[in-house]
């Protein structure tokens, strides 16, 4: 069976500016979020956020592109793609906000300058960032932008994998992007979904909402193992074993709390991967720390597995990076597993609470195996990935 292997990665989150520094940070406690001022239309508020490491909120009009270019360069270098190979490489970018932060900054500047300002104009489009990256790195294949809320970059990975398996490409660069913007911040604040108790504590009895996160990631996937490559994820043999995506019409902002749609997407992903539930050695949860979503996810996992495998959550470390979380959290998980460890979540679910979830408090040694990563987005878009670093 043809497969697409993860052969190079780049990552910049609140933890660090490259894959290695991000993985190092997973051996410590999650960082505390920063109260970040947000202002628009006469409204002023502060929201909890974990911003890009060493990238202060200045020069917003040009802040995002250099970060994206740096993570793509890290991934492409790790994969060792030649110029000729890049010429046939497909680009897929997954994001929920794309470059809205840039458009907001242009609009606010023009208002301050007394110009006839209009929001969300100035060459703002879903495809602008992807086209810029394709030209910057000489990627000759087509480019696609996926925007399906919190599942965007996870779905971009599924599409890239399908293109490689079908023989339409040998290599694909999958990119994730999320930067702080007023629309998202004010929206989640208005829905009372942001944490007021500090950090994120998914599934914990003390959970109180999410923390906004910024993050950009890049992953090169290839139809071969790239044995000569020497970089992040280039030697681990991780690949997408199977996946599923489906929509839940229960509500715009939460999955059905009985867990039925979570159960269905998990079962479809297992069937796609050709493995039984007993083969899953660990699960990376979506873990938003919001009441209904945590209830739905825990209920769905309990129904899908006779005995729920070890669980982890990565949003306490980087915040909720929304459309970018699919790829950002996959890189974090695979990078730590490449070192032989399963993630811990210190200070969260040390003992099972009302939802019955327990997290390791220190990273635990793990062997190569088959793992599941789950993502459940606004609008009912749900995705489950089955990844493996074994070939059987």
DSSP reduced 3-state for 85: helix
Task: Answer yes or no: do 160 and 267 share one domain.
Answer: no
> What is the C-alpha to C-alpha distance for residues 106 and 282, in angstroms, rounded to an integer?
44
Q: Enumerate helices (H) and strands (E) in the chain, giving the number of each.
A: 11, 15
Task: Answer yes or no: do 160 and 300 share one domain.
Answer: no
Task: Answer yes or no: do 165 and 264 share one domain.
Answer: no
The burial of 81, by beta-carbon neighbours within 10 Å (0-12 exposed, 13-18 middle, 19 or more buried), is given as: buried
Domain edge (last residue) among 222, 256, 278: 222
Query: Residue 8 is encoded by which pair of tokens?
Result: 């190079």
Task: Answer yes or no: do 205 and 303 share one domain.
Answer: no
Task: Answer yes or no: do 179 and 294 share one domain.
Answer: no
Here the CATH number for the domain that contains residue 331 is 3.40.47.10
Query: Residue 325 is encoded by which pair of tokens?
Result: 């979380």
The burial of 133, by beta-carbon neighbours within 10 Å (0-12 exposed, 13-18 middle, 19 or more buried), is given as: buried
Task: Answer yes or no: do 70 and 32 share one domain.
Answer: yes
Integer-rounded Cα radius of gyration of the chain: 20
DSSP string, 55-66: --S--HHHHHHH
Task: Answer yes or no: do 57 and 200 share one domain.
Answer: yes
Q: What is the pTM of this model?
A: 0.96
Task: Answer yes or no: do 170 and 259 share one domain.
Answer: no
> What is the C-alpha to C-alpha distance for residues 9 and 173, in angstroms, rounded to an integer?
9
Task: Answer yes or no: do 180 and 269 share one domain.
Answer: no
Is beta strand 43-50 parallel, antiparallel or unpaired with respect to 212-213? parallel
- pLDDT tens, position by position, for the chain (392 residues)? 578 999 999 999 999 999 999 999 999 999 999 999 998 777 788 999 999 999 999 999 999 999 999 999 999 999 999 999 999 999 999 999 999 999 999 998 998 899 988 876 666 667 899 999 999 999 999 999 999 999 999 999 999 999 999 999 999 999 999 999 999 999 999 889 999 878 999 999 999 999 999 999 999 999 988 766 677 787 789 999 999 999 877 766 667 788 899 999 999 999 999 999 999 999 999 999 998 889 999 999 999 998 999 999 999 999 999 999 999 999 999 999 999 999 999 999 999 999 999 999 999 999 999 999 999 987 778 999 999 999 88
- What is the extent of the structural domain holding 25? 5-222
Q: What share of the chain is helix, strand, coil (3-state, %, to 5)?
A: 35, 25, 45
> What is the C-alpha to C-alpha distance for residues 92 and 185, in angstroms, rounded to an integer?
25
């Amino acid at each position: 069976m043809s497969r697409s292997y993860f052969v190079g990665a780049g990552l910049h989150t609140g933890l660090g500016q490259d894959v290695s520094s991000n993985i190092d940070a997973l051996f410590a406690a999650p960082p505390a979020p920063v109260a970040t001022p947000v202002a628009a239309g006469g409204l002023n508020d502060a929201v909890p956020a974990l911003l890009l490491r060493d990238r202060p909120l200045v020069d917003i009009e040009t802040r995002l592109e250099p970060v994206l270019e740096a993570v793509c360069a890290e991934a492409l270098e790790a994969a060792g793609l030649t110029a000729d190979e890049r010429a046939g490489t497909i680009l897929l970018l997954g994001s929920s906000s794309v470059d809205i932060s840039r458009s907001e900054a242009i609009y606010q500047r023009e208002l301050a300058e007394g110009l006839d300002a209009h929001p969300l104009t100035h060459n703002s489009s879903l495809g602008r960032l992807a086209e810029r990256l394709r030209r910057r790195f000489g990627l000759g294949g087509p480019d696609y932008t996926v925007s399906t809320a919190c599942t965007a970059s996870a779905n971009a990975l599924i599409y890239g994998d399908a293109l490689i398996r079908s023989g339409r490409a040998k290599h694909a660069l999958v990119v994730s992007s999320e930067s702080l913007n007023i629309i998202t911040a004010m929206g989640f604040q208005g829905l009372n979904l942001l944490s007021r108790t500090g950090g994120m504590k998914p599934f914990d009895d003390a959970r109180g909402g999410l923390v906004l996160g910024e993050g950009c990631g890049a992953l090169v996937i290839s139809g071969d193992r790239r044995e000569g490559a020497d970089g992040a994820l280039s030697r681990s043999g991780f690949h997408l074993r199977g996946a599923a995506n489906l929509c839940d019409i229960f509500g715009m902002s939460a999955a059905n709390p009985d867990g039925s749609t979570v159960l269905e997407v998990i079962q479809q992903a297992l069937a796609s991967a050709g493995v039984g539930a007993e083969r899953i050695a660990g699960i990376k949860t979506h873990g938003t720390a919001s009441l209904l979503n945590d209830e739905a996810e825990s209920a769905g996992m309990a129904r899908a597995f006779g005995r729920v495998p070890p669980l982890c959550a990565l949003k306490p470390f980087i915040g909720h990076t929304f459309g970018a979380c699919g790829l950002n959290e996959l890189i974090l998980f695979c990078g730590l597993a490449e070192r032989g460890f399963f993630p811990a979540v210190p200070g969260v679910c040390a003992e099972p609470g009302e939802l019955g979830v327990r997290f390791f408090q220190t990273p635990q040694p793990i062997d190569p195996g088959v793992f599941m990563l789950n993502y459940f987005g606004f609008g009912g878009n749900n995705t489950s990935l089955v990844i493996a670093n074994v070939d059987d």
